[in-house]
Amino acid sequence: MKGLISLGAWFFDWLEAIGRAGIFLFQSLFRLPVRWGEAVNLLVRQLYSVGVLSLVIIIVSGTFIGMVLSLQGYSILAKFGSEDSVGQLLALSLLRELGPVVTALLFAGRAGSSLTAEIGLMKATEQLSSYEMMGVDPLRRVIAPRFIAGVICLPLLSMVFSAAGIIGGVLVSVGWLGVSDGSFWSLMQQSVYFDTDILNGLIKALVFAVAITWISVYQGYECVPTSEGIGKATTRTVVLGSLAVLALDFVLTAAMFGDF
């Protein structure tokens, strides 16, 4: 009985937290900027730190994952004499799953954690209060550009990741393992569909982007403003962000590709 009550209490706390996070997101996005030039400037700065600075890790990981996939795929497919299909395997796994998911996980670790820490530190050093005191809404000024930048960057990064993976895969399978150039591409093009594969992958990346960035900025904004509190919030961002990505990925995959 006691357990049931505490479970109920936990559930209500959880619902309340979700509600608070939802209101928080709503308020940051629907308070329009007063000075648009300034707002664009802030957004560019965030695109730089969220997107441009994540580019190297995304390209490098994408290339290596593409190379490894080709090696593994080749050695398995060769047993059935259909090593030409390695392009198909590579493209489908990158576009549907690995591109969006791995990019999102890297993004949670690289950009999400730094968003949380940055906002948490702004809170701890009273910079957020300071904006409020000056009659400037910190949600609009600090949170909104970071959120929007995250939502723009992750889908783009996921495209870059997949493209880097394909290029890495071509290098290994065509350049090194000797798969024929023509059948590599033609089998790939035959089995990859623009709408079901590329667009669905893009939709996944977009959903992950909203989830991770939302978690990151909210954790930063609501953290206990001490060094310990910021540390914990950062960890929570990475853990919750990654779990959210994996859970959402299952739901989205079932919805998109489930009707075989």
Partner 1 sequence: MLDVYIKVQNLSFSRGDRVIYEDVSLTIPRGKITAVMGPSGTGKTTLLRLIAAQLSPDGGEIQVDGQNVHTLSRSALYKVREKIGMLFQSGALFSDMTVFENVAFPLEEHTTLNANEIKKIVLEKLHSVGLRGAAALKPSELSGGMARRVALARAIALDPELVMFDEPFTGQDPISKGVLVELIRKLNAADAITSVLVSHDVEESLSIADHVCILAGGRVIAEGTPDQIRRSENAQVKQFLHGEPDGPVPFHYPEDLGLEQGGVSQ
Partner 2 sequence: MRSKRAELLVGCFIVLGLAAFVYLAVQVSGLGFSSQKDTYQIVARFDDIGGLSERAKVTIAGVTVGSVDSISYDKDLYMAKVTMNIESDVKNIPDDSSIAILTSGLLGEKYLGISIGAEDRMLQNGDEIHDTQSALVLENLISQFLFNKTSGSDK
Binding-site ranges for partner 1 (CB under 8 A): 34-35, 38, 45, 121-122, 125-127, 129-130, 132-137
Which position has the token pair 């001490």? Answer: 226
Which one, 130 or 190, has the nearer CB to partner 1?
Answer: 130
Q: Name the amino acid, one letter, at 133.
A: M
Q: Judged by CB under 8 A, does residue 148 bind partner 2?
A: no
- Interface with partner 2 (CB under 8 A), residue from 114, 162, 173, 216: 162
Q: How far is the CB of 121 from partner 2 (least distance, A)?
A: 21
Q: Judged by CB under 8 A, does residue 189 bind partner 2?
A: yes
What is the DSSP track for 33-67?
Answer: -S-HHHHHHHHHHHHHHHTGGGHHHHHHHHHHHHH
DSSP 147: H
**Rounded CA gap, 27 and 22, in Å?**
9
Name which of partner 2, partner 1, none residue 125 binds, using a CB cut-off of 5 to 8 Å depending on partner kind. partner 1
Which one, 129 or 227, has the nearer CB to partner 1?
Answer: 129
**Rounded CA gap, 158 and 249, in Å?**
14
Q: Judged by CB under 8 A, does residue 75 bind partner 2?
A: no
Nearest 10 degrees: CA dihedral of 156, 161, 162, 167?
A: 130
The answer to whether 174 touches 184, Cβ cutoff 8 Å, is yes
Q: Which two tokens stand for residue 233?
A: 């919030």
Q: Judged by CB under 8 A, does residue 48 bind partner 2?
A: yes
Q: How far is the CB of 58 from partner 2 (least distance, A)?
A: 10
**Rounded CA gap, 203 and 225, in Å?**
35
- Interface with partner 2 (CB under 8 A), residue from 191, 203, 229, 256: 191
Which one, 126 or 181, has the nearer CB to partner 1?
Answer: 126
Q: Which of these ranges, 21-29, 150-158, 211-219, 226-234, lies near partner 2 under the rule CB under 8 A?
A: 150-158
Nearest 10 degrees: CA dihedral of 15, 232, 251, 153?
A: 120
List interacting residues with partner 2 (CB under 8 A): 41, 44-45, 47-48, 51-52, 55, 80-82, 84-85, 91, 95, 153, 155-157, 159-160, 162-164, 166, 185, 187-194, 197-198, 202
